[in-house]
Amino acid sequence: MPELPEVETVRLGLRPVMEGAVIDKASVRRPDLRRPFPPRFARRLAGRRITHLGRRAKYLLAELDDGNVLVMHLGMSGSFRIEAEAKDTLPATTHHPRGKLAAHDHVVFDLSSGARVIFNDPRRFGLMDLIPRADLARSPLFARMGIEPLGNEMGGALIAGLFKGRAAPLKAMLLDQTRIAGLGNIYVCEALWRARLSPSRPAGSIATGRKTAANRADALAAAIRDVLGEAIAAGGSSLRDHRQANGDLGYFQHRFAVYDREGEPCPRHDCSGIVRRMVQSGRSTFYCPVCQK
């Protein structure tokens, strides 16, 4: 599933053609994705201006001029591509073979910007909904969602407070979307390696109260910010389905330190460890048993 950097990369690619544009026409080519579309979905979108294209965790949020928000989730295999009649006037166009994708083009937005934005989802685990802006924070999708890992409040003290007294493994707590929203398996593995923290250590062990614990929490907060920021700058990680909105692959996967590197030497120059893989809560965890404590 695309993680926060991939979703943010898609947002940045779509923003130039969607933000400020009017949805001249919306076409829905099937009755549902992960769940049914809202009633009169296409009709309610037609004629609406997109005033802002934002993101909350792994959701894209297109704010509309009628007070509603178009909520979009990529699911496991969802992607957007941009097609344009005047290709020289728009910053991004599709690089995908059209015939290969057409059978899974489920939603199409024709925009006043001259662009056509197409949502393609072979596995149909994506989601689209319309929610009043005033109800967004308390809607079932967002009501229990934790802090944004790239938000201003993110820091060592906050992480320590969230994890205080928790005996669950540190990695499991980082993946708990009710505490920190948007972190996924890949970038948690990478951030823990950067912070030199074992994915198995009790989460509460980095709570404030001791200088060493505070240092660990600060290191983890910095590592999370850095790895997410670098991944966004690299266009995300393309492992299976992810592409940027212009059709390009992301390339952060070429910079993984531990993820999917089982059996390889730890890339830290002062470490002699070998990257290992273990399973935590049904997910593969990659880590260095020597430098991550």
- What is the C-alpha to C-alpha distance for residues 113 and 251, in angstroms, rounded to an integer? 29
Boundaries of CATH 1.10.8.50 in the chain?
156-287
CATH architecture of 4-135: Alpha-Beta Barrel (3.20)
Does position 215 have pLDDT exceeding 50, yes or no?
Answer: yes
Q: What is the mean pLDDT of residues 80-102?
A: 55
Does position 192 have pLDDT exceeding 60, yes or no?
Answer: yes
Boundaries of CATH 3.20.190.10 in the chain?
4-135
Look at the block and give the residue holding tokens 């470490």.
271
β-pair partners for 68: 132
pLDDT at 257: 94
Confidence class of residue 132 from pLDDT cuts 50, 70 and 90? very high
- What is the C-alpha to C-alpha distance for residues 217 and 89, in angstroms, rounded to an integer? 47
Does position 99 have pLDDT exceeding 80, yes or no?
Answer: no
This prediction's pTM:
0.87
Catalytic center residues? 2-3, 58, 283
- Contact assessment for residue 227 and residue 236, using Cβ atoms and an 8 Å cutoff: no
Does position 243 have pLDDT exceeding 80, yes or no?
Answer: no
Mean confidence (pLDDT) of the chain: 89
Q: What is the mean pLDDT of residues 40-65?
A: 98
- Is 3.20.20.70 the CATH number for 156-287? no
Rounded to the nearest 10°, the torsion over CA 42, 130, 238, 189 is: -170
Confidence class of residue 31 from pLDDT cuts 50, 70 and 90? very high
Residue 124 has which token pair?
A: 């149909």
